[in-house]
Structure 1
């Protein structure tokens, strides 16, 4: 079974975004094909491999919220300004992120993935940097479209 981190184009987009937005972390999460859970598939700038073990419920955590709403999410001053329990944000905890900006990745018009850019210090994402995250997410939509079709056997 082909994995997302086997796709050089995905790695390239994530690496470029990390450099362009000079952020500490870039992660890619995708909703499981079967069931509502969301899992982190790829990361650059990660402190460890914990992200690979993180699965969040639809509507929970950064990835689950972005996928369930289909809108970008900003978070600053984590964990102090987190809504709900800090344990609802396992990626932010595992990667010690203080600020992040996450955008949905759409497949066939539905949000099924998330691209997250994060910082371990308190620097927030400017409008320009947020635009770069959105553009990177759109590039990933194109790259992963075939992968998602491949996964669904279509």
Structure 2
């Protein structure tokens, strides 16, 4: 799975794919690697909320270098960070039919600064994950 590959390539603690539901605005985390528990299965955020919702709604990358100190808003607005006890995270949008419909996330359980090389790796894996989206969205 691409999440496992990305975790190996980046040497991160946690990787995940969040996808907007086929119908509606809810966003879930159906694919993860490196999780410490099953809480991710019960996390649902709305468009514009949490890391995934913000990445999808803005169609732009999001970096968190030191959670919860370096975030806007409340820590409870970032349930995946809390559930997996992540301190640093980097997420890029996943595009389906020209529209952002998902987010690819890498996370670390300690403070980490992300480099341009990390961003390039994420973009490469994101393009591979996007090719799998038609199966998820029943194209």
Q: TM-score, normalised by structure 1?
A: 0.87
Report the counterpart of residue 107 of structure 1 in structure 2: 96
CA RMSD of aligned residues (A): 1.0
SS in 1 for 2:114: coil
Divergent runs of 4+, >3 A: none
8 A contact 2:67–2:86 mirrored in 1: yes
2:131 maps to: 142
- The structure that has the greater radius of gyration is 1
What are the Cα deviations for residues 51-77 of structure 1, in whole angstroms up to 9, with x where unaligned?
010000110000000000001111111
Structure 1: any 5+ residue segments left out of the alignment? 1-10
Q: CA deviation at 1:140?
A: 0.4
Unaligned runs of 5+ in 2: none
Cα separation, 2, equivalents of 1:19 and 1:34: 33
Normalised to the residue count of structure 2, the TM-score between the two structures is: 0.96
Alignment of 1:123-138 (within 5 A): 123-138=112-127
| Aligned residue pair count | 139
Is 1:38 aligned to 2:20, yes or no? no
